[in-house]
């Protein structure tokens, strides 16, 4: 039996994230490129986003920023 890890990092596709934010998928890509959103890459280069992080962002939770 395998135990579920503490961090269930379910992934979202670009279009799914885009729909949640009511934005074009390309915009989500820009956020990832800008480091505003962390992304996992498929072996083909497509991005998958952490659902937990997206939910936090949608809820208005500010992302951990490098010290100013």
Q: How far is the CB of 14 from DNA (least distance, A)?
A: 4
14 binds a second copy (CB under 8 A): no
| Opening angle at CA 41, ends 30 and 36, nearest 5 | 35
52 binds, among a second copy, DNA, none (CB under 5 to 8 A by kind): none
Q: How far is the CB of 67 from a second copy (least distance, A)?
A: 20
| Lateral strand order in the sheet of 11-12 | 11-12, 47-50, 39-41
Residue 42's CB is within 10 A of a number of other CB atoms, namely 10
Which of 15, 40, 52, 55 contacts a second copy by CB under 8 A?
40
């Amino acid at each position: 039996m395998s135990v579920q890890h503490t961090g269930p990092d379910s992934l979202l596709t670009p279009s799914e994230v885009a729909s949640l934010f009511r934005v074009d998928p390309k915009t989500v890509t820009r956020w990832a490129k800008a480091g505003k959103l962390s992304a996992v890459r498929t072996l083909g280069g497509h991005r998958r986003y952490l659902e937990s992080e997206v939910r936090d962002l949608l809820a208005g939770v500010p992302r951990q920023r490098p010290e100013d």
